[in-house]
Amino acid sequence: MTICFETIAQTVSTNADMKARAASGACEGFWLRAENQTGGVGRLGRKWESPKGNLFCSSLVEIRAGDPAPASLSFVASLAVFDTIRHHLPSTEIQLKWPNDVIVSGAKICGILLERAGDKIVVGIGVNVAVAPGVGDRAVTSMAAEGAATACDADTVLRLLATKFEARLQDWRLSSVAAILQTWQAHAHPVGSPITTSVADGSKISGRFEGLTDDGALRLRKADGTLIEIRAGDIEVG
């Protein structure tokens, strides 16, 4: 796979632009970065704040015969972001949180959004490189705030991220989803951690984290011993 890059000054959303490029024949390995993004969207339709200096990018993955379920690419993407941040912040506490958060020093540092585009998946990634914008009542941080070198800018982070993503993508295709999930779990909140998840009606369910299913759903053990599977939503750990 050949990795190539395009940088544009401003757009509404790199994911929206990448969908259009996918329809025009863009191939796997192509990365689009915007220096400024005015309408970024995160998971569950949330607005993704996009201050200048941070990384806003999207790439494509072609869905091939025999590939694992496309939804599991969220774990590929979060592992690639983890690898990238670990390179720049080797001594900083970094943890993965289901389904695709990367937590640095206890605070959110990135957003990941997968969207279908025909026979391709658009993988949108935003990383707080220079600035940590407010996200409601959630703690957020940036690579700069955590002590990354001043030479660590959005373009530098993207180029390493693309390499890390390619490596994790090959693991996803050649090994198994189980291997990807096992690696993800090694860097995530440990089994037995207290967690709370919100369900569709707004109520919350609390229990203990019991690992992941074979397809990446979260397993939660309620206080009464009932084991349930969560396939969408957010969780709080602790």
User: What CATH code is carried by the domain that includes residue 208?
Assistant: 2.30.30.100
| Confidence at 12, pLDDT banded by 50, 70, 90 | very high
> Which domain range does residue 21 map to?
4-186
Mark whether 219 and 131 lie in a shared domain. Answer: no
Mark whether 198 and 180 lie in a shared domain. Answer: no
Mark whether 166 and 206 lie in a shared domain. Answer: no
Edge to edge, the sheet with strand 194-198 lists: 227-230, 218-222, 204-212, 194-198, 235-237
Mark whether 140 and 22 lie in a shared domain. Answer: yes
- pLDDT of 44 over the 50 cut: no
The Cα 151–Cα 173 span in angstroms is 33
Considering its fold, how many domains does the chain have in total? 2
pLDDT of the residue at 37: 85
| Confidence at 203, pLDDT banded by 50, 70, 90 | confident
Mark whether 81 and 136 lie in a shared domain. Answer: yes
Mark whether 165 and 210 lie in a shared domain. Answer: no
- pLDDT of 47 over the 70 cut: no
Q: Are 107 and 145 in contact (CB under 8 A)?
A: no
151, 169, 186 - which closes a domain? 186
- Each residue's pLDDT tens digit, 50-94: 678 999 999 999 999 999 999 999 999 999 999 999 999 999 999
Q: Which two tokens stand for residue 164?
A: 């890390």
Mark whether 90 and 44 lie in a shared domain. Answer: yes
User: What CATH code is carried by the domain that includes residue 108?
Assistant: 3.30.930.10
Mark whether 29 and 116 lie in a shared domain. Answer: yes
Mean pLDDT of 179-186: 95
- pLDDT of 184 over the 60 cut: yes
Q: Model's pTM, two decimal places?
A: 0.92
Mark whether 21 and 65 lie in a shared domain. Answer: yes
Mark whether 232 and 165 lie in a shared domain. Answer: no
Mark whether 89 and 201 lie in a shared domain. Answer: no
What is the overall mean pLDDT for the chain?
A: 91
Mark whether 10 and 88 lie in a shared domain. Answer: yes
**Among 4, 134, 108, residue whose Cα is nearest residue 57:** 4
- Each residue's pLDDT tens digit, 111-160: 999 999 999 999 999 999 999 987 667 899 999 999 998 779 999 999 99
Whole-angstrom CA distances from 10 to 52, 59, 65 are 10, 17, 35
Neighbouring C-beta atoms of residue 149, cutoff 10 Å: 11
β-bridge mates for residue 196, sequence order: 206, 236
| Confidence at 175, pLDDT banded by 50, 70, 90 | confident
Q: Is 84 helix (H, G, I), strand (E, B) or coil?
A: helix
